[in-house]
Structure 1
């Protein structure tokens, strides 16, 4: 249901208010996309982001507050986007929870929080978005993690949830083809989690990578843009943006 009155492509990005999500939003906006930007609690950050983007191009953003754990709300996020713009060309599953879970002490609440943001919400958002993406020959890009392949110590549930997201990427590429392409980006050392890791661990990790440096949020955003816009014959792929870290992890 593409609206000829709105010729610019439209993206829905989850977790877009801060950190890598906000850089993805800025980069894709600069590339000509109009944006529906999801956030949960970071209202002030979202307002500042939208103000900046609207100064560049008026009427090009739509902020949507929602708790992704509310599964009944997820189709409404997509519907709000389509009602605003008349079309949907891409979904970027960026929102993610990240924290350690110790075996023997992991709670159901911790399990649910990690799986909701990293697996459940991306799937049900993709399901709701699929009919609209089919009409625009659109695509889905999810932010996965190198730890979907090899577990991170002290983070078993997070690693499992990202592995589910990786398999979702492959499965939906098969299920939604040929009309919708589905891919992922697996970042390495970009921004350290706000909960923090020991600096020695960070330095050692970077030193062991092939490029021996950290990446930037812009590196992730460039990969997302490539998969959304340019990789027309690519689906079911997870692009590592890790400076060669996966070679030695």
Structure 2
């Protein structure tokens, strides 16, 4: 299952999983985008399964679990889901002098509380499959940048929470994080000077690409001797 499937990296990860033959369940908050994605990921086996839920809502986790049970009924031998990829958005800009309680509550809910509760709710399924959880983290949790206090606080919280889950769920379920530097998004920022300044934060002197993120996510899904790891790329 890909959580946050309609975001730019969620789409890239979902396409890669479909291309290698995995059966995918997509979840995000926009039903129209989900429907379009489900059709586009048809690799001759029919559209991908979708479950629509908004992680800011208190009942989002129960909606996802119920939708998953309907889409892929569990059996005694196997649960509804084998692996979870947490590619949750959004990426809100919150200048410190404008920071509000609502900003912290929203980002913590989307990036930390809902993902941890979702893994908790599906822990039995994951254990049956000897499955994995892979989350997209942010290098800003250790090298913070300006105007994103709420987002970075939430990413730091889920970083710690997921490492704790790796201990709680071992040895049956692996939990790892791909901690990302800045991934190129030409549509979001066409300012060459700003792009150059941000790119110099990376030791490689450039932004990453969605394809490079996908490579690491797939590697962590398949790395059967890795758990509790934070694989930093583009830092």
Tell me the C-alpha RMSD between the 2 structures. 2.0
CA deviations on 1:61-108 (whole Å, 9 max, x unpaired) are: 111111112232303312322432232111111112212223342112
Residue in 2 aligned with 1:235?
A: 227
Inter-partner Cα distance in structure 2 for 1:158 and 1:196: 19
Residue in 2 aligned with 1:32?
A: 21
Residue in 2 aligned with 1:152?
A: 145
Is the partner of 1:100 in helix, strand or coil?
Answer: coil
Instruction: Confirm or deny: 8 A CA contact 1:18 1:45 kept in the other structure.
Output: no
2:128 to 135, 147, 158: 135
Instruction: Confirm or deny: 8 A CA contact 2:39 2:48 kept in the other structure.
Output: no
Residue in 2 aligned with 1:111?
A: 104
1:61 to 48, 55, 61: 48
With over 3 angstroms needed to count, the CA separation of the structure-2 counterparts of 1:194 and 1:167, relative to structure 1, is farther
Normalising by structure 1, what TM-score?
A: 0.85
Is the partner of 2:118 in helix, strand or coil?
Answer: helix
With over 3 angstroms needed to count, the CA separation of the structure-2 counterparts of 1:208 and 1:146, relative to structure 1, is closer
Shift of 1:46: 2.3
Normalising by structure 2, what TM-score?
A: 0.89
CA deviations on 1:213-234 (whole Å, 9 max, x unpaired) are: 22211111111111112x1010
Moved more, 127-136 or 108-117: 108-117
Count of residue pairs brought into register by the alignment: 229
